Structure 1
Amino acid sequence: MKIGPIEVWPPVVLAPMAGITNAPFRVLCREQGAGLFVSEMITTRALVERNPKTLRMIRFAESERPRSIQLYGVDPATVGRAVRMIAEEDLADHIDLNFGCPVPKVTRRGGGSALPYKRHLLRRILREAVANAGPLPVTMKMRKGIDDDHLTYLDAGRIAAEEGVAAIALHARTARQHYGGVADWSAIARLKEAVPEIPVLGNGDIWSAGDALRMVARTGCDGVVVGRGCLGRPWLFNDLENAFNGSPERARPALGEVAETMARHAEGLAGCFDIERYAVADFRKHVGWYLKGFTVGSELRRELATAGSLDGLREGLAKLDHDQPWPPNTDTPRGKSGERSKVLLPEGWLDDPWDCVVPEEAESDVSGG
């Protein structure tokens, strides 16, 4: 699969996830298999204003090539300035635009999965991004639409292809579905039929390498985007590489290797955050994902999930049964799930799908989602 000048094999992309896909986690995933590994969501306003936290978030490890940044923006001019900054200052090799985030603090500003409803505004943003990217490929990630009554993905896909976007990723849920229910893979097939001239990547309910192969076979998509399926499982990228290369081999690490990876992950976060206690606190959310399916007592799980230092975490990891084999039946949903009762939108957002007005205070200065 080619995304602009970038050869991507296997055709696998790590989905941007707030608070997850920072450099330490990307490095662990990249060690397991090739593909594209995208940063956390970066807001265009924060980037052009050179917000210190945002500038730290776009740091890449030396081993990371190609470097991929995901941008969130609602104002076409601000998006254009941010893309130009990335291209001129060599901050990344690939730019992805976020039109898929379903969280209320994003959609109520008209951003993320709310934005493609405004067709002309979407076109202006994509045109500014592509025009300012120079040689860098611009891609976009989106959802099916706001809800089943306001589907946008086919119109958005055609607009993207017309404006020179290099590839499109579709999370086959609506914003209202959030992460609940079952992803509608048939929508991925319909999008591929609508825009055969550019790569289409499918996203949603890929918990194993077998799921990825089934999605490609069923939809005709050119590649897959993996999000929650790799939480606590960077080894999934090893499985995906083997699967796309026709190998049945799958990574099944014993608990000792999992513990070693957990320690490396936390240590990497300490280097990323610069303050150890923040890093260890941030790592706590990963503990349950890494240990899912393994037999670990509740007291030890609690000790690991409340460790206050790297030494404390290492002491807890040493108590695990390092010879315990990889548990069966772990290719199951991870992370957040559930639907929303409604999608928060700017007042009057649904009145006119062709309106180009940028909502007031649409441009957030906080990166990460």
Structure 2
Amino acid sequence: MKIGAIEVWPPVVLAPMAGVTNAPFRTLCREQGGGLYVSEMITTRALVERNAKTLAMIRFESGERPRSIQLYGVDPDVVGRAVQMIAEEDLADHVDLNFGCPVPKVTKKGGGSALPYKRDLLRRILRAAVANAGTLPVTMKMRKGIDDDHLTYLDAGRIAVEEGVSAIALHGRTAVQHYGGTADWDAIARLKDAVPEIPVLGNGDIWSADDAISMMERTGCDGVVVGRGCLGRPWLFRDLDNAFTGVTERVRPDLGRVAATMARHAELLVEHYGGEAHGVLDFRKHVGWYLKGFTVGAGPRRDLATARSLAELGERLARLPGDQPWPADAADGPRGKSNARERVHLPDGWLDDPYDAAVPEGAELDSSGG
């Protein structure tokens, strides 16, 4: 798969996930196999204002190539300036635009998965991004629409092609579904049929390498985007690498190997943040994902999730029964939050005119990370 001039093999992309896909996690995943590994969501306003936290979030490890940044923005002018900054200062090799985030603090400002409903505003943003990107490819990630009564993905796909976007990723859910229900792979097939000129990547319910192969066979998409399926499982990218090269072997680590990966993940976070307290605290969210399916009681899980230092974490990991085998089906399937929402939070009057290109007041967020 080619995204602009970038060759991506296997055709696998790590989805940007707030608080997860920082440099340490990308390192763990990249060591397992090839593909494209994207940063956490970076807000365009925070980037152009050179917010210190945001600038730290776009640091890549020396061996990370290609370097991919996902941007969130609602104002075409600010998006254009952010992309220009990335291109002129050589901050990345690829820019992805976020039109898929369903969280209320984003959609209520007209951003993320709410934005493609405003067709002309979407066009203005894409045009500004591509015009300022120089030789960098610009891609976009989106959802089917706001809800089943307000589907936008086919219109958005054609607009993207017309404005010079290099590839599109579609999460087969609407914003109101959030991460609930089942991803609509048929929508991915329809989008591929509608925009044959550029690569279409499918996203949603890829919990195993076999799911990725099945999605591509069923939809005809050019690649896959993996999000929640790799939480606590960076070795999923080894499985994906194997699957796309015809190797049947799959990684099935025992609890001892999982514990060793957990310890290394925490160490990388400490190094990344430059402080043990911050790094160990940030690691806590990963404990449940790593241990999914294993027979580990509530007490040991709680102890691991409340460790205050690498030494304390290491001692508690050492108490786990390292020879416990991979729990097979119990470790597979949905990971992370999967509840639908009752409604999507939108700006007042957002649905009145799908061609209104005005930027909502106060739409640009001033901090990054979702």
- In which range does the TM-score fall when normalised by the shorter chain? over 0.9
Residues in 2 aligned to 1:318 and 1:334: alpha-carbon distance in whole angstroms = 25
Q: 1:97 — aligned with what?
A: 97
Shift of residue 239, structure 1, vs aligned partner: 0.4
SS in 1 for 2:31: helix
Matches within 5 A, 1:1-369: 1-329=1-329, 330-369=331-370
SS in 2 for 1:362: coil
The amino acid that maps onto 2:106 is V
The amino acid that maps onto 2:66 is P
Residues in 2 aligned to 1:255 and 1:3: alpha-carbon distance in whole angstroms = 38
SS in 1 for 2:328: coil
Give the count of matched residue pairs. 369
Percent identical residues: 79
Q: Deviations over 1:184-207 (max 9, x none)?
A: 000000000000010000000000
Shift of residue 302, structure 1, vs aligned partner: 1.2
Residues in 2 aligned to 1:31 and 1:161: alpha-carbon distance in whole angstroms = 33
Residues in 1 aligned to 2:328 and 2:353: alpha-carbon distance in whole angstroms = 51
SS in 2 for 1:202: strand
Residues in 1 aligned to 2:220 and 2:9: alpha-carbon distance in whole angstroms = 16
Shift of residue 299, structure 1, vs aligned partner: 1.6
Q: Deviations over 1:281-326 (max 9, x none)?
A: 1111100110111122222111101111111101111111122221
The amino acid that maps onto 1:284 is R
The amino acid that maps onto 2:65 is R
Residues in 1 aligned to 2:322 and 2:62: alpha-carbon distance in whole angstroms = 31
Residues in 2 aligned to 1:254 and 1:61: alpha-carbon distance in whole angstroms = 29
Residues in 1 aligned to 2:76 and 2:328: alpha-carbon distance in whole angstroms = 48
Shift of residue 349, structure 1, vs aligned partner: 0.5
SS in 2 for 1:147: coil
SS in 2 for 1:59: coil
User: How large is the RMSD of aligned CA atoms in angstroms?
Assistant: 0.7
Residues in 2 aligned to 1:364 and 1:292: alpha-carbon distance in whole angstroms = 34
SS in 1 for 2:97: strand
Shift of residue 272, structure 1, vs aligned partner: 1.7
Residues in 2 aligned to 1:176 and 1:288: alpha-carbon distance in whole angstroms = 26
Shift of residue 275, structure 1, vs aligned partner: 2.4
Residues in 1 aligned to 2:233 and 2:146: alpha-carbon distance in whole angstroms = 30
The amino acid that maps onto 1:176 is V
Structure 1 stretch displaced more, 253-262 or 9-18: 253-262
SS in 2 for 1:32: coil
Q: Which runs of 4+ in 1 moved over 3 A?
A: none
The amino acid that maps onto 1:243 is A
Residues in 2 aligned to 1:253 and 1:59: alpha-carbon distance in whole angstroms = 31
The amino acid that maps onto 1:351 is D
SS in 1 for 2:136: coil
The amino acid that maps onto 1:10 is P
Q: Which runs of 5+ in 1 are unaligned?
A: none
The amino acid that maps onto 1:350 is L
Residues in 2 aligned to 1:298 and 1:348: alpha-carbon distance in whole angstroms = 47
Could you tell me the TM-score, scaled by structure 2's length?
A: 0.99
Residues in 1 aligned to 2:69 and 2:271: alpha-carbon distance in whole angstroms = 20
Shift of residue 48, structure 1, vs aligned partner: 0.2
Residues in 2 aligned to 1:281 and 1:314: alpha-carbon distance in whole angstroms = 14
Structure 1 stretch displaced more, 289-298 or 110-119: 289-298
Could you tell me the TM-score, scaled by structure 1's length?
A: 0.99
Residues in 1 aligned to 2:211 and 2:257: alpha-carbon distance in whole angstroms = 24
Residues in 1 aligned to 2:119 and 2:299: alpha-carbon distance in whole angstroms = 53
Q: Which runs of 5+ in 2 are unaligned?
A: none
Residues in 1 aligned to 2:24 and 2:324: alpha-carbon distance in whole angstroms = 26
The amino acid that maps onto 2:151 is L
The amino acid that maps onto 1:242 is N
Shift of residue 261, structure 1, vs aligned partner: 0.8
The amino acid that maps onto 1:272 is H
SS in 1 for 2:205: coil
Residues in 2 aligned to 1:137 and 1:19: alpha-carbon distance in whole angstroms = 25
SS in 2 for 1:55: helix
Residues in 2 aligned to 1:175 and 1:273: alpha-carbon distance in whole angstroms = 32
Residues in 2 aligned to 1:344 and 1:298: alpha-carbon distance in whole angstroms = 35
